C-alpha cells in the first residue's frame, strides 16, 4: 500500500512532463471566400493562408474555401462576426447596411485610379477599423478590384440607353445608381453571375474586367465600357475573440503576412487591370471608352450619389472625404 501511494504521484508527475513536452494542438481557421479559386483575390488569400500556416509551423492552419463553398458571399461577414468562421473575405461596399462608411469606395467617380483609391483608403482606414472593432472584428488586409466598367447587352451611348435594363446590384450604392439611370436593380452575388446573364435576369452591371473574365461573360454580354467608375475593395477580417485567443507570436505572424498580402494584392490588381480588358476584347466583346455623353451623365450621377451618401454618413463620412480631398 505504501509503495502504491509513492508510485501514483511519481506516475502523475511523469505524465505531466510528457504532456508538457507535446506540441500544442494546431488551431485550424476555415476562411470562406466569395470568388472563384482562380480569381486573384482568392489566389492572394490562398498565398496568405499558406504563409501563415508555414511560418507558424502549423500551429495556426488557415484553409481557404473559394466560390462561396463554405458560406455564400452575403453570409461571410455575419459568419465571421458570430465566429462561425474565424476569418473571411467580404466586399466592403456590400456592407452599407452595417454602416454607410463601408460604401465609401463605391461612390461613383470619387476615386477612379489606383493612386486615388490608395489615398481614399488611407483616409478611411482608421474609421473602418473603429467600426469593425465595435462589431468585434479585426481588419487584416484590403485589396482593390480594378477600376469598374459598364457591362451591357446593348450599345450604351448615354444613360438614357440604360432605361429599363435589368442591372446587377451587389450593394446599396449600385442599387441607387441603377435607379438614377432608370435601370432595374436586381441583387446578384458573384457566384450567380453567369446564370443570371445567361437567363436574362441581368442585362447590365458595373464591375471590373476581372469579374467578366472569371465568369466568361462574353458568352452573354456584348459590350464593356471602361468608365472607371470606382475601385471597390475586398477586406479580410477576423473574429476579435478568435484573434485574441492566439498567442502573441502567432498574432504577429498573422499581421505581418496580412500586410504582405495587402501589398501583393494591390500590385496584382494594378498589373491585371489592362490585361483583363484585353481578354474581354480577345473573346469577342466590344471594349471601348465611354462616349462623352455617357461620361458626362455618369459624372452628374456621381455628384448626386456623393451628396446623398454624405447625408447618411454624417460627420465621420464628411471627415474622411475632406481628408481624402485635402491629400490631392
Q: Residues 91-140: pLDDT tens digits?
A: 999 999 999 999 999 999 999 999 999 999 999 999 999 999 999 999 99
Cell 468562421, located at residue:
85
pLDDT score, position 22 = 39
Task: Tell me the pLDDT band of 190, cut-offs 50, 70 and 90.
Answer: confident
**Which residues does 36 contact at the CB level (< 8 Å), separation at least 6?**
42, 66, 67, 214
CATH number of the domain at 26-326, please? Answer: 3.40.190.170
For 205, the enclosing helix (H) or strand (E) is strand 204-207
**Rounded to whole angstroms, how far apart are CA atoms 105 and 128?**
12
Domains of the chain by residue range = 26-326
**Rounded to whole angstroms, how far apart are CA atoms 320 and 124?**
6
* DSSP letter, residue 151: E
Query: Phi, psi at residue 31, to the nearest 5°?
Result: -120, 100
Contact 41, 234 (CB under 8 A): yes
pLDDT digits (tens, 9 = 90+) for 301-328: 999 999 999 999 999 999 999 999 998 7
Cell 493612386, located at residue:
115
- Predicted TM-score (pTM) of the model is 0.85
pLDDT score, position 24 = 52
β-bridge mates for residue 137, sequence order: 239
Three-class SS state of 146: coil
Q: Which of 1-10, 19-28, 95-104, 170-179: highest mean pLDDT? A: 95-104
- The sign of the CA dihedral 263, 267, 270, 272 is negative
Statement: residue 11 has pLDDT above 80: no
β-bridge mates for residue 87, sequence order: 238
Amino acid at each position: 500500500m505504501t509503495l502504491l501511494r509513492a508510485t501514483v504521484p511519481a506516475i502523475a508527475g511523469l505524465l505531466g512532463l510528457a504532456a508538457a513536452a507535446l506540441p500544442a494542438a494546431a488551431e485550424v481557421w476555415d476562411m470562406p471566400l466569395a470568388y472563384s479559386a482562380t480569381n486573384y483575390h482568392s489566389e492572394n488569400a490562398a498565398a496568405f493562408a499558406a504563409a501563415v500556416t508555414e511560418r507558424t509551423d502549423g500551429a495556426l492552419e488557415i484553409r481557404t474555401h473559394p466560390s462561396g463553398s463554405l458560406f455564400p458571399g452575403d453570409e461571410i461577414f455575419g459568419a465571421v462576426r458570430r465566429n462561425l468562421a474565424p476569418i473571411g473575405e467580404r466586399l466592403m461596399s456590400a456592407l452599407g447596411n452595417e454602416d454607410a462608411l463601408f460604401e465609401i469606395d463605391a461612390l461613383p467617380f470619387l476615386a477612379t485610379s489606383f493612386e486615388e483609391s490608395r489615398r481614399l483608403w488611407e483616409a478611411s482606414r482608421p474609421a473602418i477599423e473603429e467600426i469593425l472593432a465595435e462589431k468585434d472584428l479585426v481588419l487584416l488586409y484590403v485589396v482593390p478590384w480594378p477600376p469598374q466598367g459598364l457591362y451591357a447587352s446593348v450599345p450604351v451611348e448615354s444613360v438614357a440607353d440604360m432605361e429599363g435594363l435589368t442591372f446587377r446590384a451587389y450593394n446599396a450604392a449600385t442599387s441607387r445608381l441603377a435607379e438614377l439611370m432608370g435601370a432595374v436593380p436586381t441583387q446578384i452575388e458573384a457566384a450567380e453571375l453567369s446564370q443570371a446573364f445567361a437567363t436574362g435576369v441581368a442585362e447590365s452591371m458595373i464591375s471590373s474586367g476581372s469579374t467578366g473574365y472569371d465568369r466568361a461573360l462574353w458568352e452573354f454580354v456584348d459590350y464593356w465600357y471602361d468608365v472607371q467608375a470606382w475601385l471597390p475593395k475586398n477586406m479580410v477580417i477576423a473574429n476579435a475573440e478568435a484573434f485574441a485567443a492566439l498567442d502573441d507570436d502567432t498574432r504577429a505572424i498573422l499581421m505581418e503576412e496580412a500586410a504582405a498580402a495587402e501589398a501583393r494584392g494591390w500590385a496584382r490588381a494594378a498589373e491585371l487591370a489592362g490585361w483583363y480588358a484585353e481578354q474581354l476584347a480577345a473573346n469577342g466583346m466590344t471594349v471601348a471608352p465611354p462616349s462623352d455623353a455617357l461620361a458626362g451623365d455618369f459624372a452628374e450621377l456621381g455628384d448626386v450619389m456623393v451628396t446623398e451618401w454624405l447625408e447618411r454618413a454624417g460627420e465621420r463620412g464628411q471627415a474622411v472625404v475632406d481628408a481624402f480631398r485635402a491629400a490631392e
